[in-house]
Amino acid sequence: MAKKRRKPTTPAPAAFGVMQHVVEAKGDKPDEPQPASDQAGKDPAAVALGRKGGLKGGPARAKKLGKKKLSEIGKKMAAKRWKK
């Protein structure tokens, strides 16, 4: 029977587990995360609405372009990616 290869372990998951146990033992809850500095002062509803529109944008653009033009754009971008 072939031996299974194990992924190399890193200290990060172990440290995370230890911290979870400490938090559970103390009964403390971590502070609420603060909004990112670029989000500070922005209306959360407007941010959510912008994100919603952004998620629709790509598929809508692809549908509008047509297969031939979309294929040209894809080939051009793949060539740039592989050029690196």
The model's confidence at residue 81, banded by pLDDT at 50, 70 and 90, is very high
* Whether the predicted pLDDT of 34 surpasses 70: no
* Whether the predicted pLDDT of 79 surpasses 90: yes
Q: Compute the distance between CA of residue 24 and CA of residue 34 in angstroms, rounded to an integer.
A: 22
The model's confidence at residue 33, banded by pLDDT at 50, 70 and 90, is low
* Whether the predicted pLDDT of 48 surpasses 90: no
Q: Compute the distance between CA of residue 46 and CA of residue 39 in angstroms, rounded to an integer.
A: 11
Provide the residue ranges of all domains of the chain, joining segments of one domain with +. 42-84
Sign, Cα dihedral of 33, 37, 38, 44:
positive
Instruction: Check: pTM over 0.85? Answer yes or no.
Output: no
Close Cβ partners of 65 (under 8 Å, ≥ 6 residues apart):
73
Instruction: Evaluate whether 23 touches 29 at the Cβ level (below 8 Å).
Output: yes
Per-residue pLDDT, 32: 66
Instruction: Evaluate whether 30 touches 23 at the Cβ level (below 8 Å).
Output: yes
